[in-house]
Amino acid sequence: MLAQSQAILTPHALYISGQLPALASGEIPSGSMAYKTSLCIANLKAILAAAGSDISRVIKTTVFLTDMKNFTEVNGEYERHFGVNGAPKPARSCVAVHQLPKGVEVEIECVALPGGGAAGHSEEEIERRVAG
């Protein structure tokens, strides 16, 4: 059991905990930084959907990297998902850290606006939908 919530939904915002580059099974696969970034974003998208929101409603992200030399590759993949199809680009911080959980090199967290019908989803409902 995690010592955190995957997400907390308030009437005005959805706060999503940092997502690692993990498969649904929890496995941390090897691969390029672009691939690892895409996994982090896929996990964010799953939680956004479970809460009734989507990536176009993300207003702030924080990207954690263990080595800033990976910024360009991470940023290239990031730009494929955020601020597309007319959606505004979210505010973003990118932070270099000494290490991340499970030895990963990238982690991404975000804050989003609730989507249509999201206000009715409790923290437990979001957790159940993500785990489901």
Torsion of CA 102, 23, 117, 122, to 10 degrees: -50
**Predicted TM-score (pTM) of this structure:** 0.88
Q: What is the separation, in whole angstroms, between the first and last Cα of the chain?
A: 15
Residues marked as catalytic: 94
| 11-20, 102-111, 114-123, range with the lowest pLDDT | 114-123
Q: Does 53 score more than 60 pLDDT?
A: yes
pLDDT tens-place string over residues 74-111: 999 999 999 999 889 999 999 999 999 999 999 999 99
